[in-house]
Structure 1
Amino acid sequence: MSNTPSEFVALALNSGSSSLKFGLYRVGASGTDALFTGVAESIGEPGGQFQVRDSQGNVLTHDTAPIPNQRDAVIRIGNFFEEAQTPAPAAIGHRVVHGGPKLRQHCLIDENVSRQLEAAAAFAPLHTPAALSVIRFAQEHFPRLPQVACFDTTFHAGMPDVARVLPVPRELQVLGIQRYGFHGLSCESIVHQLGDDVPSRLIIAHLGNGASVTAVKDGKSIDTSMGLTPSGGVIMGTRSGDLDPGVLVYLMRELAFDAVKLEHMIDHRSGLMGISATSSDMRRLHDASSENPDARLAIDMFCYSVRKQIAAMIAVLGGIDLIVFTGGIGENDGAVRGSICAGLSWAGVSLDSAPNVRVKVLASQEDEQIARHTRTVSLAG
C-alpha cells in the first residue's frame, strides 16, 4: 500500500513507565481510522501481557508471557505487524509528556531533538525516561522510518503570560521555570471530536491516575491546573497535586528529606494513595468506602479538588458553556462526575435532563491525535 497524503499510515506509540500502548492508523484529510490497536502491559514485571485488537475491537493476539523491557515490547509490535502483513507505516509518532522550554511544537526527532529531550527529562522523571527508551528502540527496529515527537505541552504553549508565568524570581523564569500544562494531546482530541460544536467557553476535566483541568477559550488553552511538571494541580492517584511550598521546606529542614525522597513522596506516595493508605485506584476506594473512612475521605477530597479547580476555570473563562469529562475516571465513574457537578449548580452545571451548562463524557483519543500530528509533521518535513 502506498503512503500518499490521502492514504498515510502512522504507528502511534504511547509509553508509560511499565506499559506501551500502540495503534496503527490510516490518516487522511477526511478522518482517522484505527487499523489495529494494542498494549504491552506490566513491562519488566512477572505478569506481562501483550494484546492486539483489530478495527472492530476483536482480540487478535493475547500473550501473557513476560515482557522484559521496552525494547522487547517494540520488537513484539514490529513482529506482529510483519506476521499479520498489516499496511506498512510511513512514520512513527511518540507521545512525549514534556519537551522542556525549547521543544514546544511537535517535530521530527533528530540527534539534536534527542539531546534536548534528554536534557528535559528532569521536568517529567515519571514519564520522559520511558518515552526516550521507546524512541531509541523504535529507531533501532524501524531505522528507515521518520520518528515524530508529539508533546503534551504543545496545546498549552500559547497560554497568556498571566497563566504561564510562575511567581518566582526572573533568573529562574529564564531557565524555563514556568507553567507548561499537560494532557495536551487528550485535550486536542476532545477539541477535534467536538469539531464545529466547540463552544467559546469549554472546560476539559481529564481525570485518571493523572488528572488535570483545562480552560479552553475558542478552541485554545488559556489556563490549566498542572504547572511546571505533571505533579501539580488537582489530587491524583499517587501524586499530591498542589502543595503549600512550606510543606516541602519543612520536610527538608526538619526531617532531612532530600530531592529523591521528596520526589518519591510527591509522585508515588501521595494523592489518593496517601490519603487512603489503601489504594490509588478509584474503583477499590469505592469498594472500601462504606467501611473505611479514609477511603471515603480520599474520594471526597478528589471530587472537592476537581470541583474547586473547575470553579477557578469558570472564573478564568468568564462563564462556562460545556464541561467535558475524559480519562479513565472521567469517562467511567458516574458517581465522581455527579459529586463534582453537584457542587457547581451555582454556575448552572447539572446532570439532569435540561442543564443550563452542558456536560459531556468523551473518550480521550491521544493515540489518534498522535497519528494525526505524525502525518502533518512527516508531510511537512
Structure 2
Amino acid sequence: MSATRVLVLNSGSSSVKYQLLDMADGGRLAMGLVERIGEETSRLKHTPLVTGGESREWSGTIADHEAALQAVSEELAKDGLGLDSPELAAIGHRVVHGGQAFTEPTVVDGAVLAEIERLIPVAPLHNPANLTGIRTAMALRPDLPQVAVFDTAFHTTMPESAARYAIDVKTADEHRIRRYGFHGTSHAYVSRATAELLGRAPEEVNVIVLHLGNGASASAVRGGRCVDTSMGLTPLEGLVMGTRSGDLDPAVIFHLARVGGMSIAEIDTLLNKKSGLVGLCGDNDMREIRRRVDEGDEAARLAFDIYIHRLKKYIGAYYAVLGTVDAIAFTAGVGENAAPVREAAVAGLETLGLAVDGALNAVRSDEPRLISPADARVKVAVVPTDEELEIATQTYALVKKID
C-alpha cells in the first residue's frame, strides 16, 4: 500500500475533532476542532503540523456535519493535505458503543451502520453523532475505506463473570444489559505503552490503567487483555468523575422518583451532568479543586477525598482481580497532570508494593515515565494517552490487511 495517511475523526453532537497522521512514521500532519456546529456562530481551529505553521481560526455559520467536514477538507487543502489526496489511505472513526457485535476495528458498510444505529438506545448521547460523522465522510469520499474503531472493543475480552450484572438473564439479554466499558482505545494504548516502558511484552505484564479525565475509568489488564473495567452499560458507572456520579445504590433512582418527584429525564441529568465533583463542590476542574483545598475550602477537600476514596477502592479491587500486578498507569488530563491525585491514590498501599517518589512525581513531562522508587515491587507510571494514534494505528493495520 503506497498511501500511508489516515484521517481520524471524532464526531460529537455539535463538534468534530480531527487529526491527520502519516502511518509511515506515526507523525501528525494536522489537527483541529470544529465546534458549535448548527449554532449561529460556529468555530474552526486548524493547526498545520507538517509545515510548522501557526494555527488558523475561523468563525461563522457551519450548518451541519457535512459543512463541517467540507470546511475541514478546505483547511487541509490549504496545506496540501486535502481529502482528495491519493496519499490518504482511510478515515478512522471513533465510535463509542459497539456492543458485543464489534470486537475489533471494522470497515463500515450498510450492515455495520445498521448495527451501530441499533445500539443507539444504549449510547443515545454518542452513537448518533458518530453515525453522522461516518455517513458524512462516506458521502465526501465514497471510494475510501471508512473504519469504525469502538471504545468498547478492548473490553470485550472480559469474562462473563465480570461482564454480567446479577439480574434476570432473559431480561438482560432481551435489552442487551451488560457491562461494556468505555475509553477502550485509551486503555489499549496505555496498557501496551506501559509494558514497553517496563521493557517487556504486553503478554507478560499485568497492568491497572487509570484513565482520569473529566470522564474517568479504570481497567484491569492481564497479559494485554482486559479482564475488568469500571464503566458498565453506560459511562456512568464506576469512578467519581467531573460531572458523573459513578457507582451508587440503584435504589437512589427509585427514591428520587418516588420521594423527590423527579422524572427519569431529570434523574438522568442529575447523575450525568450535575453530580461527581461538580455536584460535590461546584467545580469539575481538578486544578481549581486543588487550589481550593490548599486554601482550606472544606467542600473542595471533601470532594477530593471522595474522589480518592473511590479511586483507591478500584485499585484494591483490580489488584485482587489480577492477583499479581506489575504496574499501575495514570493517564488522561488528571492522571497525567495532577501529582496530588497520584500521590493520594497510592498513599497507604505500601504493603501492596505501591509507592511514589515525591521528586519523580512532581516532574512535568509529556513523556511516559516511572514515578515509583527504583526498588518498588509494583511500578507506578504516568503514560500520556494517545487515542488518535491508537485509532489511526488500528485503522491502517486493517486496511493494509485487506488491500
1:94-150, Cα deviation, whole Å (9 max, x unpaired): 111112233333211112211211221221223222212222222222232221110
| 8 Å contact from structure 2 (residues 217, 239) kept in 1 | yes
d(CA) in 2 for partners of 1:17, 1:349 = 41
One of 346, 351, 357 as aligned partner of 2:351:
346
Tell me which residue corresponds to 1:129.
Answer: 128
Closer, same or farther: CA 113–329 of 1 in aligned 2, 3 Å: same
In 2, distance between residues paired with 1:67 and 1:300? 44
Structure-1 residue corresponding to 2:288: 284
Q: Counterpart of 2:123 in structure 1: which amino acid? A: A
Query: Alpha-carbon deviation of 1:66?
Result: 4.5
Unaligned runs of 5+ in 2: 358-372
Aligned equivalent of 2:258, options 238, 248, 253: 253
1:102 matched residue in structure 2: 101
- Counting only pairs closer than 5 Å after superposition, residues 120-269 of structure 1 correspond to structure 2 as 120-175=119-174, 176-193=176-193, 194-195=195-196, 197=200, 198=202, 199-269=204-274
- The answer to whether the aligner puts 1:11 opposite 2:7 as a matched pair is yes
Residue 63 in 1 paired to residue 68 in 2? no
Deviates more, 1:233-242 or 1:118-127: 118-127
User: Which region of structure 1 is more displaced relative to structure 2, 301-310 or 64-73?
Assistant: 64-73
Residue 303 of structure 1: CA displacement? 1.6
Query: Are the aligned partners of 1:124 and 1:230 in contact in 2 as well (CA < 8 Å)?
Result: no
- Pairwise CA distance, 1:320: 1.6
Structure 2 residue identity aligned to 1:230: P
For the residues of structure 1 that align with 2:60 and 2:97, how far apart are their CA atoms? 29
Q: Does structure 1 conserve the Cα–Cα contact (< 8 Å) formed by 2:48 and 2:79?
A: no
CA contact (8 A) 1:211 1:235 kept: yes
CA distance in 1, matches of 2:61, 2:307: 34
Counting matched residue pairs gives 373
Match of 2:67 among 66, 69, 72: 72
Q: Would the alpha carbon gap of residues 40 and 370 (structure 1) be closer, same or farther in structure 2, given more than 3 Å must change?
A: same
Write the distance in 2 (CA, Å) between the matches of 1:53 and 1:357.
41
Which TM-score applies when normalising by structure 2? 0.86
Instruction: Name the Cα RMSD after superposition.
Output: 2.1
Deviations 1:161-219 (A, max 9, x none): 11111111011232321111111100111134234524522110000011011001111
Native 8 Å contact 1:238 1:273 kept in 2: yes
Select the residue among 315, 330, 335 that pairs with 1:330.
Answer: 335
In 2, the alpha carbon distance for the partners of 1:334 and 1:167 equals 37
- 1:235·1:305 contact (CA, 8 Å) conserved in 2? yes
Whole-angstrom distance in 1 between the partners of 2:398 and 2:211: 26
Q: 1:295 to 1:59 in 2, by over 3 A?
A: farther
Query: Is the partner of 2:259 in helix, strand or coil?
Result: helix
Q: How far apart are the structure 2 equivalents of 1:233 and 1:366? A: 21
- Give, as a single letter, the amino acid of the residue that structure 2 aligns with 1:9: R
TM-score between the two structures when normalised by the length of structure 1: 0.91
Q: Is 1:369 the counterpart of 2:390 in the alignment?
A: yes
Amino acid at match of 1:139: M
Deviation (angstroms), 1:49: 4.3
Q: CA deviation at 1:93?
A: 0.5
The alpha-carbon distance between structure 1 residues 184 and 55, as it changes in their structure 2 partners (threshold 3 A), is farther
Aligned sequence identity (%)? 37
Q: Is contact 2:34–2:42 with CA below 8 Å preserved after alignment?
A: no
CA 1:305–1:49 in structure 2 vs 1: closer, same or farther (change >3 Å)?
A: farther
Give the alignment partner of residue 293 of structure 1, picking from 286, 294, 298. Answer: 298
Alpha-carbon distance change, 325 to 142 in structure 1, aligned in 2, over 3 angstroms:
same
